Amino acid sequence: MLIAVDHGNYAIKTPNFSFVSGLAEHTVRPPLAEEILEYDGRYWTLSGKRISYQTIRKLRKVLTEEDHK
């Protein structure tokens, strides 16, 4: 089976669906957000904005460090 996927820093797209892949970082818990990731005193929510390359590098570093603890 072959599944076509286009992923970038804004959306992940398949032939039938498109998902937001942008993230927004917050220093306080967003009161109205429903889906929140909390890590190391910071909060992350889905966003329709493109992710900056600095944020991508920061997330990659955080996730890699967590894997090696």
Domain boundaries of the chain, sorted by first residue:
6-67
Q: What is the pLDDT of residues 25-69, one digit of tens each?
A: 899 999 888 888 888 888 988 877 777 777 777 777 776 765 555
User: In three state form, how does the secondary structure of the chain look?
Assistant: CCCCCEECCCEEECCCCEEECEEEEECCCCCCCCCEEEECCEEEEEECCCCCHHHHHHHHHHHHHHHCC
How many CB atoms neighbour CB 42 within 10 A? 14
pTM of the model: 0.52
In this prediction, residue 38 carries a pLDDT of: 87
**What CA–CA distance (Å, rounded) separates 4 from 12?**
11
